[in-house]
Amino acid sequence: MLALTVFAALSFGLWTPDLPLADLEFRYLQAPADLRSVGPWRLHVRDSGPRQAPVVVLVHGFGASLQTWDAWARGLSQTHRVIRLDLPGSGLSPPDPANDYTDARSLQLLLSLLDALDVSRASIVGHSMGGRIAWTFAAKHPERTDRLVLIAPDGFASAGFEYGKPMDVPASLSLMRHVLPKPLLRMSLKSAYAQPDHLSDALTTRYHDLLRAPGARQAMLERLKQTVLQEPEPMLRQIKAPTLLLWGEADAMIPVINARDYLQAIPGSRLLSWPGVGHLPQEEAAEVSLQAVVDFLR
């Protein structure tokens, strides 16, 4: 009985409810037109740069949002049309109406978005989980893919993942739907950054706010549960688009040593990496990594 009382008291003190969507849109939505209906989805999309320029699509990683590309979008939009989106259940995009977070659904979404924006071909850029979506798209839809940029991409089996099986998601993780104190989130985010000063209070607050969007935490759990990795080599070998790999050499989440698997599997691919940079070079080394992408796309 005492244990239950203590647990109830802790839970009440740490209870982290959703935030009203209107409040989040007031803080993080640049323009009402950035909320678009695309097929069955309602998506937060930012579309910048000259409309007749070559198109670049930026796909964020797990738990992130389109703001991770802010620095790159400013630079790339000088010469490219830059399209970035919040995946369903991330940022300001509501959860998937079919509760479907499989990679196949993500590819369907990207195709629908390109069609809705009247884009026949684009260079695809993906980070981490978004990298897996990006290289899968490039392999299955070469007719829609110009070039491919993969930033610490996901896709090869690691601890907790086996090919052909969904991830074993700990039951304790489901508590985050109700309990997500900001200090705990900050501790979790630290592993993504090699430079502690980069994880500012403002950045932590943005992550915390957007994870409290209605349905966002449940969507994250569903995305984990529905992730089923397949042997990546056969599909990677099908990629025809010129491919650039970018990696932080201090990446503690997907180590740079993983790059050799992609280099061996993707014909003609090449790697650029930077010391002292963690899992998010587009944030921690924005200037140098942006220049690498500009040079590659040029």
**pLDDT digits 0-9 by tens, 196-236:** 899 999 999 999 999 999 999 999 999 999 999 999 999 99
Asked whether residue 25 is domain-assigned, the answer is yes
| pLDDT number for residue 6 | 36
- Would you say residue 7 lies in a domain? no
Identify the band that residue 173 occupies on the pLDDT scale cut at 50, 70 and 90: confident
* pLDDT value at residue 175: 85
Per-residue CA distances from 94 to 43, 70, 133, 182, 208 (Å): 7, 21, 19, 22, 16
Other CB atoms within 10 Å distance of the CB of residue 70: 13
State the residue range of the domain holding 245.
Answer: 17-297
At 261-281, the pLDDT tens digits run 999 999 999 999 999 999 999
Other CB atoms within a 10 A radius of the CB of residue 81 amount to 20
Q: Does residue 48 sit within a domain?
A: yes
How much is the mean pLDDT over the chain? 93
Residue 10 in any domain: the answer is: no
Are the C-beta atoms of 282 and 294 separated by less than 8 Å?
A: no
**Statement: residue 174 has pLDDT above 90:** no
The reported pLDDT for the residue numbered 158 is 77
* DSSP letters for 185-239: HHHHHHTT-SSGGGS-HHHHHHHHHHHTSTTHHHHHHHHHHH-B----HHHHTT-
Give yes or no for residue 195 having a pLDDT over 70.
Answer: yes
Q: In this structure, is residue 12 part of a structural domain?
A: no
The answer to the question of residue 213 being in a domain is: yes
Contact 297, 54 (CB under 8 A): yes
- Give the CATH number for residue 44: 3.40.50.1820
Per the structure, the count of domains in the chain is 1
In a domain, 160, yes or no: yes
Residue 204 resides in a domain = yes
